[in-house]
Amino acid sequence: MTDRQLSDLALDARNHAYTPYSNFKVGAALLCADGTVFTGCNVENAAYGSTICAERVALVKAVSEGYRDFAAIAIAGSGEDFCWPCGSCRQMLCEFAPGLRVLAVRQDGQFEAATLDALLPHAFGPAALN
C-alpha cells in the first residue's frame, strides 16, 4: 500500500468522527505488516477525559483482532496543519511499534512522514519493565 492510499483511507475515516464539542474531525488508518488496514476516528464525550483519539481507536481495533505487527499509520485532521499524534497516542503506538512510520496528513491531502521513535524519543516501553 502506498503512502497516498493510506493517507486517503485516513481522510475517509474522518467522515465517521463524532465531534460535537471541538468540531475537529480526525481519521486514522493503521497498516499492519501483512497489509491489513484498520481505520479509526475520534469519538468525543461530554466528559472530555473520556474522549478517544482516532489513532487509539484504530490500534485497539487491530489488537482486539489479534494483530500486533504494524508498519505505518496515517493520521488525517480537519485543519490546515499536519495532524501529528498526541502524546497518549504516541505512547500507545510505541507499545507495539516504536519504529512505526507515521504520516501526518492535512485536510488537503498533503502529508509529512516521521518515525514514531523520532516523535517519542527515550520512550517508556515494555523493555523498561525488565
Active site residues: 55
Candidates 115, 105, 95; CA nearest to 39 is 105
Cα 61 → chain centroid? 12
At 40, which amino acid appears?
G
* DSSP string of 74-91, one letter each residue: EEE-SSSS-----HHHHH
Closest by alpha carbon to 71, among 100, 92, 42, 48?
Answer: 100
